[in-house]
Chain A
Amino acid sequence: GQNIDQPTEMTATEGAIVQINCTYQTSGFNGLFWYQQHAGEAPTFLSYNVLDGLEEKGRFSSFLSRSKGYSYLLLKELQMKDSASYLCAVRLHNYGQNFVFGPGTRLSVLP
């Protein structure tokens, strides 16, 4: 089966840096994606890793280690608007290419 784990909740202070971890055990790995979702809204794409290493995109960076089944999303210079759920998703490489989402990490940014 497919299993993706993330911490349920995290709290950080405005201006700080936070790292959200994601571990996965899946078959047919074909990429790891991070999405942001504000309550009641659609998930929006943040970043994508298919090879090991760090991908940087402005205040957001994502890291992948395929051998360890591990990824993290790094958010710098936190802003209040970053309070949201962050979803880790694995894309599976099989006939039915599909995304499997983790449970999400609810991040609260405090002033």
Chain B
Amino acid sequence: DSGVTQTPKHLITATGQRVTLRCSPRSGDLSVYWYQQSLDQGLQFLIQYYNGEERAKGNILERFSAQQFPDLHSELNLSSLELGDSALYFCASSVGAYTEAFFGQGTRLTVV
């Protein structure tokens, strides 16, 4: 157990809908990262937050948004869902700049 908690574990929804994925980082970790992993694909970096502020943005679609709250948990919002958004969404957290990131178990999103 990495200490990073993601909910829900599985999510099935229809095209056009909106979903929210939640991540609780390890205790003491200030950085949260979101990644998307489609079937048999690599990890695609979406966005990073540090202590509530957005720090880096990857190839995140405009239909996607995220935020980190004062208690450091983070949410990834996906809207106007398309079939191609079906993927595993991972959250990871790290203490700071020079340490490894630990991954949650992921949320498997299926858009039908």
Interface on A for B, CB 8 Å cutoff?
30-31, 33, 35, 40-45, 48, 50, 87, 93-104
Contacts and interface: CB of A to CB of B under 8 A. Distances in A.
B11 interface: no
Interface string B29-59: 0010101000001110100101000011110
A107 to B, nearest CB: 15
A101 B103 CA distance: 13
B58 to A, nearest CB: 7
Given A41-B106, A42-B104, A44-B2, 10 more contacts: A41-B105, A43-B43, A48-B100, A94-B56, A96-B55, A96-B57, A97-B48, A98-B45, A101-B43, A104-B42
Contacts of A97: 31, 48, 50, 55-56, 97
Contacts of A94: 56
SS of B interface (majority): strand
B11 to A, nearest CB: 15
A103 B42 contact: yes
A45 B26 CA distance: 14
Contacts of A96: 48, 55-57
CB-based closest 7 A-B pairs: A96-B56, A42-B103, A98-B56, A101-B43, A103-B42, A96-B55, A45-B100
A93 B56 CA distance: 11
Given A41-B105, A43-B90, A44-B2, A98 B33 contact: yes
B88 interface: yes
Contacts of B106: 41-42
A101 B42 CA distance: 7
A31 B98 contact: yes
Interface string B82-101: 00000010101000011011
Contact of B88 (A31, A40, A103): A40
A101 B55 contact: no
